[in-house]
Structure 1
Amino acid sequence: MAPLHRWTPLIITLAIQAMVAAAVLAVPSVAPRVAQSLGISVTYVGLFVSVAYAAAIFASLASGTATARYGSIRVSQISLLLCATGLVLCTLASLWTLALGAMFVGLGYGPITPASSHLLARTTPAHRIALVFSVKQTGVPLGGVLAGVLVPGLQVVVGWQSAILCVALLCVLCAWGAQTLRQRFDADRDIGRRLALGQLLEPVRLVMRHPPLRLLALSSFVFAFAQLALTAYAVTYLTSDLGQGLVAAGAIFAISQSGGVLGRVWWGYVSDRWLGARRMLVVLAVLMSASALATALLHAVVPVAVVAAVLFVFGASAIGWNGVYLSEVARAAPKDQAGIATGGTLAITFLGNDLGPAIFGAVAGGFGSYRAGFLAVALVLALCAIVLVRSGRSAAVSRA
């Protein structure tokens, strides 16, 4: 395979990941304008992501079998078109079409990672698999940057509906561009593979039958909880508890997101070069726990540079773990079942995404402080790190 062609699977999966991430965040990026247009509370628009992740759970469970039957590229194309359809529905100025649009976007978002894992697991050399998976996962924050820059800027000129339709058009163009690669990368598809509702829970059953996959899935629930606690509550915490202005809080939040982009690449490199994925996940759990604790201990008198540094490390770990995690899922999965295993583990990850903000909000509300929420995140992550260390020792003993 020519040098450029060797990177083609990574390039196309990165582009697709960025587009579906932009689709999920397009509506939330202009939530106040959407709420004003529909005459509803911003809270209802805020539920967009929750509805999308709930649909993504269902879609991720079906994605492994669909990928085996139709191929990674075809499933990704269908997913992109589902996202585009959902965004079009969101522009129809109705609360019901907004909810339906969120569901379509979630159905498109859910299969992307299992489909890309199936392709990358087949085409990536073992010595750089964590780095490749991590680079691909930078598509998520890159999609967030795309949505955050493109949609709010365009809505000033053409209105929020047209701005969101531009993201839908980009999804369609990405699906069209992927067609040229289908014959080469979907050659392993099995058109005789049956699709049935009875197989919907097979990915979860596969994960639960294999202890390494089960532990990874449960760890990802905790990691997703930490990630959404940071992304959903950081700005509110910075403004309400630390007295930062909204512009300054937004800038610090952007720094945490940039940490996530850099972290996803760096942790993949460190995992491949020195630690291995399992030990890297332990390090990340410890870093997340320490960062959450440090965040909880911040006060208004702390210099802004220190606050930004803490949030940068928090973002690098709490947003940067995904690639290493997915590479370990692909490695631990039974032969030729990386896509199905990824679908099963991601269903649990998405559950953490869906429930994480609600759990954090309940803890913070119960104790009357966002600090309590971040302390709870730190505690749960510390326990997760201990479990990962103990499981690694048990596995080493069993191999001895």
Structure 2
Amino acid sequence: MKPGRGIDERQAKGKPGKLPVVVQMLLFMTLGNFSNSSYSPLAPFIKNSFLLTSAEVGLITSVIFMGAITVSLFSGFLVDRLGPYTAIKISFAIIASGAVIIFLGHTYSVLIGGYYAIGFGYGIITPASNSLMMKEYYPDHATRMGVKQSGVPLGAAFSAAILPIIALNFTLRGSYLILIIMALAIAIVLPWERRKESGQRIGKGYIKDLLSAGRSRPLLAVAVAVVFLSWGQQTLLTFFVLFEESKGIPIIFAEALLIVLLAGSVFGRMFWAYVSDRVFRKNRVHTLSLIMAIAGLVFVMFNLNGSNYALAVAFSFIIGMNAVGWNSTYVTVISEIAPRAKVGLFSGVSLMLTGMGTIIGTPVSGVIRDMFSFMEMWTVLGSALMVMSMVFLFVGSKYVKSSYS
């Protein structure tokens, strides 16, 4: 048994034991983001159904992350005290409730409320899966983290492939019925963990740990940099299909390009995990800085992506590889700088901080699009990322060191 492996049937009797942990977490990340990213492929249907502006569509993304930030305040408690599998069970129950709200509602405000609940539930999955992965696989965790995090774009890809077809044939409401069935099934099937810590409450000790994590310089350095990557990722996923449509590309092909983008992000998450270990010798700061610089450059060049289908496919894959593929390196470095018993807590706090890039950035991108055009939106975003890559290379090299032991 590896030194870092600490979750077994003696510690968590409710643990599903047949599949390797990395496969289980890949599955949960995929199915969780299937719901969480549903707004992206459904954006044209939502916009037409509710007669929304681009800024209002962008607000949906912000609301999802507001839900994730809200739960991040105590996701560390759910994960580290109740157990990661119990936390994931609760997560999917909340996601199902959010989908029910949207399914039964008829107004934009209800739609927003439902996506807030979906984001709230999804925000628990990453801290829970990070905690399990570090306990199971440390120190050989980075590549497996990349595999686990590839579930995020896989879920989005399945969402892009399945939900628009359902919306076209069975109305927008039918797409949310699929989300309800999927999330509810997982919430019912997953067992409760029985842990000694489960009786503990959030008190002064937890608040002290929360504040301590919030003052961690390595955590703050990474989080501030990733704010810009989060802004870029969610702007891309929110407006990508609308951008391709604006160039005269049919919606079916635009949705297919979104799948290509997400395929690029799956490749990117595993590719950058490998590069971080093998090329940069586990220097996550250098890896993230390079990803930010490349993503920024591709965003600026994204304006050159005309209606040529072959060029559109190439750009979609490359931008997905970088602007969305950074996440595996990010969750790895957050898990490494966290103390062993506080991976869930640090993951939750980092999510709270980096979510500001989505909450503030995506509506700003929508406003830029409404006031000017997509060209200005991509240029501002790409320029900000390139500048931040240089800042993070300097600041991150000074503060970010692994403290996982």
**Equivalence map 1:29-68=2 (5 Å):** 29-30=41-42, 40-43=50-53, 47-68=59-80
Contact 1:21 1:109 in 2 (8 A): yes
In structure 2, what is the equivalent of residue 295 of structure 1?
302
| Letter of the structure 1 residue corresponding to residue 220 of structure 2 | R
* Matching residue within 64, 70, 73 for 2:82: 70
In the alignment, is residue 286 of structure 1 matched against residue 293 of structure 2? yes
Query: What are the superposed Cα offsets for residues 134-189 of structure 1, whole Å, 9 maximum, x if unpaired?
Result: 2111222221222233333345555543442232222222234432xx65xx75x6
In the alignment, is residue 98 of structure 1 matched against residue 89 of structure 2? no
| Deviation for aligned residue 1:107 | 1.6
In structure 1, what is the equivalent of residue 376 of structure 2?
372
Instruction: Tell me how far apart the structure 1 counterparts of residues 68 and 135 of structure 2 sit (CA, whole Å).
Output: 24
Instruction: Please tell me the root mean square deviation across aligned C-alpha atoms, in Å.
Output: 3.1
| Letter of the structure 2 residue corresponding to residue 133 of structure 1 | M
In structure 1, what is the equivalent of residue 395 of structure 2?
391
Shift of the 120–351 alpha-carbon distance from structure 1 to 2, 3 Å rule, reads same
| Deviation for aligned residue 1:262 | 1.1
Query: What are the superposed Cα offsets for residues 178-221 of structure 1, whole Å, 9 maximum, x if unpaired?
Result: 32xx65xx75x623532259956954x33442211111111111
Instruction: Tell me how far apart the structure 2 counterparts of residues 295 and 244 of structure 1 sit (CA, whole Å).
Output: 15
Contact 1:218 1:348 in 2 (8 A): yes
In the alignment, is residue 264 of structure 1 matched against residue 252 of structure 2? no
Shift of the 279–178 alpha-carbon distance from structure 1 to 2, 3 Å rule, reads farther
Instruction: Tell me how far apart the structure 2 counterparts of residues 158 and 232 of structure 1 sit (CA, whole Å).
Output: 23
In structure 2, what is the equivalent of residue 353 of structure 1?
358
Shift of the 157–193 alpha-carbon distance from structure 1 to 2, 3 Å rule, reads same
Instruction: Tell me how far apart the structure 2 counterparts of residues 24 and 172 of structure 1 sit (CA, whole Å).
Output: 14
Contact 2:160 2:255 in 1 (8 A): no
* Matching residue within 126, 141, 145 for 2:139: 126
| Letter of the structure 2 residue corresponding to residue 379 of structure 1 | S
Shift of the 72–81 alpha-carbon distance from structure 1 to 2, 3 Å rule, reads same
Contact 1:86 1:101 in 2 (8 A): yes
| Deviation for aligned residue 1:249 | 3.7
Q: Equivalent residue of 1:354, what SS?
A: helix
| Letter of the structure 2 residue corresponding to residue 152 of structure 1 | P
In the alignment, is residue 233 of structure 1 matched against residue 243 of structure 2? no
Instruction: Tell me how far apart the structure 2 counterparts of residues 222 and 238 of structure 1 sit (CA, whole Å).
Output: 23
In structure 2, what is the equivalent of residue 213 of structure 1?
219
TM-score when normalising by structure 1: 0.85
Shift of the 244–163 alpha-carbon distance from structure 1 to 2, 3 Å rule, reads closer
Q: Would you say how many aligned residue pairs link Structure 1 and Structure 2? A: 383
Instruction: Tell me how far apart the structure 2 counterparts of residues 359 and 202 of structure 1 sit (CA, whole Å).
Output: 33
| Letter of the structure 2 residue corresponding to residue 293 of structure 1 | V
Contact 1:134 1:324 in 2 (8 A): yes
Contact 1:133 1:323 in 2 (8 A): yes
Query: What are the superposed Cα offsets for residues 230-260 of structure 1, whole Å, 9 maximum, x if unpaired?
Result: 22233333443x5544444443333222111
Contact 2:43 2:57 in 1 (8 A): yes
Q: Equivalent residue of 2:398, what SS?
A: helix
TM-score when normalising by structure 2: 0.84
Query: What are the superposed Cα offsets for residues 292-313 of structure 1, whole Å, 9 maximum, x if unpaired?
Result: 12113x164x854334323321
In structure 2, what is the equivalent of residue 223 of structure 1?
229
Contact 1:267 1:280 in 2 (8 A): yes
In the alignment, is residue 114 of structure 1 matched against residue 127 of structure 2? yes
In the alignment, is residue 311 of structure 1 matched against residue 323 of structure 2? no
Shift of the 148–309 alpha-carbon distance from structure 1 to 2, 3 Å rule, reads closer
Moved more, 51-60 or 141-150: 141-150
Instruction: Tell me how far apart the structure 1 counterparts of residues 230 and 214 of structure 2 sit (CA, whole Å).
Output: 19
Q: Which has the higher contact order (CA 8 A, sep 6+)?
A: 2
| Letter of the structure 2 residue corresponding to residue 260 of structure 1 | S
Instruction: Tell me how far apart the structure 1 counterparts of residues 208 and 367 of structure 2 sit (CA, whole Å).
Output: 30
| Deviation for aligned residue 1:393 | 4.5
| Deviation for aligned residue 1:83 | 0.6
Contact 1:206 1:341 in 2 (8 A): no
Instruction: Tell me how far apart the structure 2 counterparts of residues 292 and 101 of structure 1 sit (CA, whole Å).
Output: 31
Instruction: Tell me how far apart the structure 1 counterparts of residues 390 and 215 of structure 2 sit (CA, whole Å).
Output: 22
Shift of the 197–310 alpha-carbon distance from structure 1 to 2, 3 Å rule, reads farther
Instruction: Tell me how far apart the structure 2 counterparts of residues 149 and 309 of structure 1 sit (CA, whole Å).
Output: 19
Percent identity over the alignment is 25
Unaligned runs of 5+ in 1: none
Contact 2:161 2:256 in 1 (8 A): no
Q: Equivalent residue of 1:126, what SS?
A: coil
Unaligned runs of 5+ in 2: 3-15
Shift of the 375–121 alpha-carbon distance from structure 1 to 2, 3 Å rule, reads same
In the alignment, is residue 273 of structure 1 matched against residue 286 of structure 2? no
